[in-house]
Homo-oligomer: A and B are copies of this chain.
């Protein structure tokens, strides 16, 4: 009986992979990638005809992809004007951090009731970031950092929280483009993350929460300072 429940779980976990076939979703994947890595900088207008020809899909399909990404807040759709890569305002950055504070501190407080695997994931992403830093891949350090924070929210073991966090962080990447040097932005937080992970594993949730909140303050301030400087 438990063996059977085992398959069932594993098979149903594999199911989403099979469903992944829609052309609109594939197009959305490609565009998402290019928006996140900065190939399509914020403010860029995405012409239906141009992109459609480039990717070899019809306008109708492309429009579905645009809708998908608009709902992820990566694109904005202006009626009769077209779709543009989202430009995050300073207020958006502040709002994203506000929501992260809520979700991630809730995650830290739930660390006591979380599974050991979930807590282990947090530490794993710290190590992933350290490894990336040693090889000098600062973009990878950035993604490891995001996974670290997603792992913290994942301590809540809530699918909806996970999805919300994933979307928040994807949105936040739009703001990272204003940061020139990736290294100076990501490097200092490696230590912070390691300390927070240790505190979580030791069970000192209260201090972990304080450290996390301190991180949010400095990171947000750093981003907003870069915003003010570049006068976006």
By a beta-carbon cutoff of 8 Å, the part of chain A in contact with chain B is 19, 21-22, 60, 63-64, 67-68, 71, 78-79, 95-96, 98-99, 102-103, 106, 156, 158-161, 164, 168
Contacting residue for A102 out of B71, B95, B96, B161, CB 8 A: B161
Given A95-B160, A99-B160, A160-B168, output 14 extra A-B contacts at Cβ < 8 Å. A19-B79, A22-B79, A63-B64, A64-B64, A64-B67, A95-B159, A98-B156, A98-B158, A98-B160, A98-B161, A99-B161, A102-B156, A106-B106, A164-B164
Report the minimal beta-carbon distance from A85 to chain B, rounded to whole angstroms: 19
- Please state if A158 and B99 are interface contacts (CB–CB under 8 Å): yes
Contacts of A22 in B (CB 8 A): 79
- Please state if B161 and A79 are interface contacts (CB–CB under 8 Å): no
In order of increasing CB-CB distance, the 7 nearest A-B pairs are A71-B71, A102-B106, A98-B158, A99-B160, A67-B67, A19-B79, A95-B160
Report the minimal beta-carbon distance from A105 to chain B, rounded to whole angstroms: 8
Report the minimal beta-carbon distance from A54 to chain B, rounded to whole angstroms: 21
Whole-angstrom CA separation of A60 from B63 in the bound complex: 10
Report the minimal beta-carbon distance from A35 to chain B, rounded to whole angstroms: 18
- Cross-chain pairs A/B with CB under 8 angstroms, 25 sampled: A19-B79, A22-B79, A63-B64, A64-B67, A67-B67, A67-B68, A67-B71, A68-B71, A71-B71, A95-B158, A95-B159, A95-B160, A96-B160, A98-B156, A98-B158, A98-B160, A98-B161, A99-B158, A99-B161, A99-B164, A102-B103, A102-B106, A102-B156, A160-B168, A164-B164
